[in-house]
Structure 1
Amino acid sequence: MAAIRVPRPADQRTVVAVVFVATMFLAIMDATIVNVALPSIATDLGTGTDSIDTVVTSYLVSLAVVIPASGWLADRFGARRVFLAALTVFTVASALCATAGDVGQLVGWRILQGVGGGLLTPVGTTMLYRVYPPQQRARAARVMMIPTAVAPALGPVLGGLLTDGLSWHWVFLVNVPLGLATLLYGLVFLADVPATAARGFDLVGFLLAAGGLAGILYAVSTGPSHGWGSPAVLLTGAAGLVATAAMIYWETRVPHPVLALEIMKNRIFRMSNLVMTFGVMAFMALLYLVPLLAQAIEGASSTRAGLLVFPEAVGVMIGSQVAGSLYPRIGPRRLLAGGLAAAAVTIGLFAAVTISASPWTLRTLMFLAGFAMSFVFLSTQTAAFATITPMRTGDASALFNAQRQLASAFGVALVATVLALPDAGSAAAGAFARRWVFLVPATLALVGAVLALFIRDADASATMRSVAQRVPTSPGTGPDGPVPAKLPRREREAT
């Protein structure tokens, strides 16, 4: 009897897009879906609120720890193999989290879950950019926008519905069916990519990078709640900074570093990451503030508070279509500067209307903030990899995702610290802090807009059809990749 063959789709772009969206959705949403279930978990497992915070922190830290090794693993063992293995680990760990009988077990399984999730994001990004040529990177960025925009906003809503309607166990079990379906789809349709790395593993660099990321993330995640002067925060933060400094010293002196920091010499990659850092800080701070203050001030339920945030995802989805059509003609600089400036104004309006305003006023502002930020996300994700060769995509993706993870944590920690200032003890000062804290992410977005003006559209010409089709390039011109030999007058004035 002849074996049954399942045909592979001819276009791997479709296959990679499907597995990328599904897995990134799971990994990103899992960082927010658990938050609303923490009180129920603490009650059921018989622990206090101080201990239950480690359920979130352990996932975020383990997520970041494995990112430095993602590029080497993808090159050494093949992106497909590493990606599917990481998805298996994440799915199995999600099921194990639901079986935890005490906080220690739950934290242990969350660490394992973070290991899988931490590899999914950079390895998935590597696969995506390898199947999309530079001229189609804006289309690839649209694919990346789906989980990036929807998952953080949907997490609190879905978490509230599952916890209130079923039990906290389902915030973990919900990952299992989608994880298994994506795993089977990937096993059947995802094309194998042969391993390319013959270099040895930089163990010292990995330990320093992982320790640095873990220490810094733990400190900024627990600092607002435990106090920045607490011994645990001070020790882990200092250790993280020392390890990061040692990592930079080591990685710039070894022939095959686990984190290829020399990629930062690439001007468009460096500037896109810098702008992205301020944009992500502002965005995550806003997503943190609105549901938190809605619950604290208005007494809103977790589900209702999450629904106030969800219009942001709709704004990102719609805005990404507009930004995707404009990017090839306009380039990243003006889209980034305009998007961040518009986001700064929109976020600043939250301070004027207060969180007690009409729900539809808040939802409208969230939609507009998401619409503006879509220009930022699409442009940075497209331009950052404009001159990165396929062989260096894994290394660049590890750096890009590590920086984005740190930016997310710093954005939330900054506004949480402002809300926890001692002066907020009085009613007047507390109301003032809650109202004007929105100026913090608004200022971050404004700083990002100013930095965006220093981006050169010519550096991203490979991702712009209108420029790339007309500008002759001289390849191999150093770390910034192809350099346009001569730009038309309009592009010269724009850059």
Structure 2
Amino acid sequence: MTRVHDHRHVALIVASALFMQNLDSAVLATALPAMARDLGEDPSRLGAAITSYLVALTVFIPFSSWIADRFGAKRVFMLAILVFVFSSVLCGQSQGLGELIAFRILQGLGGAMMVPVGRLLLLREVPKKDMLSAMAWLTMPALLGPVTGPPLGGVLTDLWSWRAVFWINVPIGIMGFLLVAWKIPPVAPTRPGPPDVVGLALTGAALALVMFGLETVGRHVVPEAVSWAGLALGLVAGFFAVRHCLRVPRPAVDISLLSVATFRDATVAGSLFRTGAGAVPFLIPVMLQIGFGMSAAQSGFVSFATALGAFAMKPLVRPVLKRTGFRGALVANGVLAAIGIAALSLVGPNWPSAAIFVLLAIGGLARSLQFTSLNTLAFADVPTERMSAATAFYGTVQQLTPALGVVLATAALEVSSSMAGRADLMPVDFSRGFLVAAAVVLLSVPLHARLAADAGEEVSGHKR
């Protein structure tokens, strides 16, 4: 077997874990309205079931690189799959929002060790010239999760209950665990030295407190003073976390990686894009079910068009980047992605399902190109010896921003409805939510324009 085939081999197996995680997120978004009815909660508050998982991912991911180095990436990857599957079963048995959030946090612990460590298994060995191909092989099977998730989540919810959307992780996780054990060679542990406990504690506290404040402020879940105190303490902890990580030799989060221009652009500008784009998967199924009165199954079959468009774009990423380079693609496509999200504000209850489907598919094309470009650009110029720290840092940001996207979406919905003096959500509230998300996506474009014309050319193959 050639080295190229080894990369594809590992990528496809690691993608089974990404498939499970992406499927879980996709089916959950479709099932949220049914969960809200069953648990007696407001649909916008059920966003906490998504953000709690994403925040847990964000808090624990910085620890993943040290764990992988200390105990071996393959061993940690297998354990993470088991934790994810076990917590999925617990989520399916939750009797209230509090229990669901607690089990989603445990699930986030598994996901934090599963996705970045799986990516590390692949990126540690792949040459720069093969990185774009390797990332495509990694992400294409994983995209089957978002493609199949919405219709599958809708059917399972309508035929059985929302609880079934968690139980489907069991057979997928067991299959992935066996494939990893059988086909991926072991990775010897190293001696990374003691973990940066202070940095991990400060980073985790900052992220958790800020997200707690953003998730609860103005929603009367806790006293307003508690929400604002959480935000303030989180920002203070974040300040000390950054100062600490800049001073120690092996920090929990290696902020010095931001000196690499391509990594900095994918992290900073990419965060704006992911935050705006992260609002869309939450807004679409809630709009179709709460705003337009569709069933969960109908909503799922319409909203999976986004993932179908994303899947269709993957084979086109390499020729596009080779022709335009990273800067050209990120700038032009960033504008197109913002227009695609803003166009969703025009959708109304009287629109034919086919028209909504086409609009979602076109938007999925643009967002897919941007996501793949960012995920590849991030590691284009990172030295191999710093790849472990880079995957942990980038993974943290990559998981935090969708959580911010959900917070952005729920805040936009609540502000819009409260300004109109009503509690129920109406189609106009979703239109405003999409416009806010599009504006945040558009903010990333000027930052991408500052990239060098030859940024990441070894990976993209683009020659001026």
Question: Structure 2 length as normaliser, TM-score?
Answer: 0.89
Q: How does 1:201-216 map to 2 (within 5 A)?
A: 201-216=195-210
Q: Aligned pair in 2 of structure 1 residues 223, 389: CA closer, same or farther (>3 Å)?
A: same
**CA displacement at 1:210 relative to structure 2:** 1.1
Are the structure 2 counterparts of residues 121 and 457 from structure 1 closer, same or farther at C-alpha, using a change threshold of 3 Å? farther
CA gap of 1:230–1:28, structure 2 versus 1, over 3 A, is farther
Question: How many angstroms apart in 1 are the aligned matches of 2:161 and 2:144?
Answer: 23
Out of 276, 288, 303, which is 1:282 matched to?
A: 276
C-alpha separation in 1, matches of 2:426 and 2:438: 19
Q: Is the 8 A contact 2:69 2:189 kept in 1?
A: yes
Deviations 1:199-241 (A, max 9, x none): 2111010111111122222333344744797234323222222
- What letter is aligned with 1:186? V
Aligned partner of 2:456 in structure 1 is 460
Bigger shift: 60-69 or 173-182?
60-69
Asked if the contact 1:78/1:193 (under 8 Å) is kept, the reply is: yes
CA contact (8 A) 2:59 2:396 kept: no
What is the match of residue 252 of structure 2? 258
Question: Displacement, 1:288?
Answer: 1.9
Deviation of 1:8 after TM superposition, in Å, equals 12
Q: Answer with 439-448 or 171-180: which moved more.
A: 439-448
1:323 to 296, 305, 317: 317
Question: Which among 382, 389, 410 is matched to residue 404 of structure 2?
Answer: 410
Higher gyration radius (CA): 1
1:434 aligns with 2:430: yes
| Relative contact order, higher structure (CA 8 A, sep 6+) | 2
List 4+ stretches of structure 1 deviating above 6 A: 7-10, 50-53
* Residues 32/222 of structure 1: CA separation in 2 closer, same or farther (3 Å cut): farther
The answer to which of 274-283 and 345-354 deviates more is: 345-354
Alpha-carbon deviation of 1:159?
Answer: 2.4
1:446 is matched with: 442
- The answer to whether the Cα contact below 8 Å between 2:337 and 2:363 also exists between their aligned partners in 1 is yes
Contact 1:70–1:394 (CA under 8 A) maintained in structure 2? no
User: Secondary structure of the equivalent of 1:131?
Assistant: coil
Equivalents in 2 of 1:94, 1:420: separation in Å? Answer: 29
Once the 2 structures are TM-superposed, how far is the Cα of residue 163 of structure 1 from its aligned partner? Answer: 2.2
1:357 and 1:371 map into 2 onto residues whose CA distance is 21
**SS of equivalent residue, structure 2 residue 16:** helix
Tell me which of 280, 289, 292 is aligned to 1:295: 289
Conserved in 1, the CA contact under 8 Å of 2:29 and 2:285? Answer: no
Deviation at 1:337, TM superposition (A): 1.1
TM superposition score normalised by structure 1: 0.84
- Change in Cα spacing, 1:35 to 1:218, as seen in structure 2 (3 Å) is farther
Q: Is the 8 A contact 2:209 2:233 kept in 1?
A: yes
- 1:426 Cα deviation after fit: 6.2
2:166 matched residue in structure 1: 172
Deviations, residues 103-146 of structure 1 (Å, cap 9, x unaligned): 66554433322210111121122222223221122212323433
Deviation at residue 161 of structure 1 after TM alignment: 1.7
On the 8 A contact 2:349/2:427 being kept in 1, the answer is no
Contact between 2:119 and 2:391, CA under 8 Å: does it hold in 1?
yes
CA deviations on 1:313-360 (whole Å, 9 max, x unpaired) are 111111121122222343111111121111122222223344542222
Contact 2:92 2:164 in 1 (8 A): yes
Mean Cα deviation higher: 451-460 or 307-316? 451-460
> 2:355 maps to which residue?
361
- Distance (whole Å) between structure 1 residues aligned to residue 270 and residue 117 of structure 2: 19
Give SS of 1:309's match: helix
The residue type paired with residue 33 of structure 1 is V
2:192 pairs with 195, 198, 201, which one?
198
5+ residue gaps, structure 1, are 1-6, 468-490
- Structure 2 unpaired stretches of 5+: none
**Cα distance 1:174–1:232, how it changes in 2: closer, same or farther (>3 A)?**
farther
Structure 2 residue 233 is the aligned partner of structure 1 residue 244? no
Q: 1:457 to 1:386 in 2, by over 3 A?
A: farther
Q: Indicate yes or no: 2:88 matched with 1:97.
A: no
CA distance in 2, matches of 1:84, 1:339: 37
CA distance in 2, matches of 1:423, 1:164: 34
Query: Which residue is 1:309 aligned to?
Result: 303
> In the alignment, which residue of structure 2 is the partner of 1:486?
none
Provide, for residues 444-488 of structure 1, a one-character-per-residue CA deviation record: whole Å limited to 9, x for no partner. Answer: 222222222111242312213354xxxxxxxxxxxxxxxxxxxxx
Per-residue deviation, 1:40: 5.5
Aligned to 1:483: none
Q: What are the within-5 Å matches in structure 2 for residues 334-373 of structure 1?
A: 334-354=328-348, 356-373=350-367
Per-residue deviation, 1:197: 3.9
State which drifts further: 85-94 or 200-209. 85-94
Q: Which moved more, 1:308-317 or 1:21-30?
A: 21-30
Gap change, CA 1:24 and 1:221, over 3 Å in 2 = farther
Greater displacement, 149-158 / 128-137: 149-158
Query: Is the 1:351–1:435 Cα contact (8 Å) retained in structure 2?
Result: yes
1:410 counterpart letter in structure 2: L
**3-state SS in 2 of match to 1:406:** helix
Partner of 1:17: 11
Q: Is the 8 A contact 1:323 1:335 kept in 2?
A: no
Cα shift readout 1:401-449 (whole Å, capped 9, x = no counterpart): 211222112222223222212213269x966543343222222222222
- Cα contact 1:22–1:182 (8 A) shared by 2: yes
Residue 478 of structure 1 aligns with which residue?
none
Q: Structure 1 residues 49, 315: closer, same or farther in 2, change over 3 A?
A: closer
Is 1:143 aligned to residue 137 of structure 2? yes
Aligned to 1:62: 56
In structure 1, how many angstroms separate the alpha carbons of the residues matched to 2:172 and 2:427?
42
Q: Do structure 1's residue 30 and structure 2's residue 31 form an aligned pair?
A: no
Question: Distance in 2 between the 1:355 and 1:226 partners?
Answer: 30
> Which piece of structure 1 moves more, 180-189 or 301-310?
301-310
Query: Does structure 1 retain, via aligned residues, the 8 Å contact 2:147–2:311?
Result: no
